[in-house]
């Protein structure tokens, strides 16, 4: 199945897709006020959107920058649409799917799954507890082992796509 969302009301697994967004799509999202932050300020980075399969509405966003010098990908910004935050959200697994996507991309770029971000202080504990990020002082990071765990949790076909390490 790949990535999927969980409908909180029904428990149903709903297939999801992640794709790169154009500057025009970002402008439309900014004008919709459905997301915190001004995403047009992220245009120098790669911006990806998460959607339910066969649906146009973007429900999660991530901007990232490949860092070949660091052999890692930096998550610059990640967000759920406002209607999918807190107790009022309809779908679960939005941020997890986006983080798994970035981890998978890190493996594809031969960065061994290394991913890092510089979170707001208020959510450091959440990233560490829910996604297994480790604290490196000024940033949080995922190593090879934790990235594989995230991908295995959020991308069902990952085990069939990659041979196991010997």
Which CATH number goes with the domain that contains 146? 3.40.630.30
Q: What is the pLDDT of residue 166?
A: 42
Report whether 67 contacts 76 (CB < 8 A): no
Mean pLDDT confidence for 48-59: 97
Distance CA 165, CA 116 (A): 23
CB 65 within 8 A of CB 76: yes
* Residue 53 included in any domain: yes
> Does 163 map to a domain?
no
**Residue-range definition of the domain harbouring residue 73:** 4-155
SS3 category, 164: coil
Beta-ladder partners of 14: 5
Q: Is the pLDDT of residue 123 over 70?
A: yes
Q: How far is CA 159 from the centre of its chain?
A: 19
Task: Give domain status of residue 165, yes or no.
Answer: no
* Total domains, the chain: 1
**pLDDT for residue 157:** 67
pTM above 0.75, yes or no: yes
* Residue 28 scores a pLDDT above 50: yes
Give the pLDDT score at 163. 45
């Amino acid at each position: 199945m790949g990535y999927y969302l969980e409908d909180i009301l029904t428990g149903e697994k709903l297939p999801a897709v992640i794709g790169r967004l154009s500057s025009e799509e970002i402008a439309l999202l900014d004008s919709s006020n459905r997301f915190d932050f001004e995403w047009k300020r992220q245009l120098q980075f790669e911006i990806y959107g998460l959607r339910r399969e066969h649906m146009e509405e973007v429900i999660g966003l991530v901007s990232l920058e490949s860092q070949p010098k660091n052999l890692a990908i930096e998550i610059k910004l990640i967000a759920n649409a406002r209607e999918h935050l807190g107790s009022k959200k309809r779908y679960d697994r939005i941020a997890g799917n986006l983080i798994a996507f970035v981890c998978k991309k890190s493996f594809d770029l031969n960065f061994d799954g290394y991913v890092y971000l510089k979170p707001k202080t208020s959510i450091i504990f959440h990233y560490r507890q829910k996604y297994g990020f480790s604290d490196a002082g000024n940033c949080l990071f995922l190593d090879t082992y934790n990235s594989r765990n995230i991908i295995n949790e959020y991308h069902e076909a990952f085990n069939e796509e990659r041979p196991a390490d010997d």
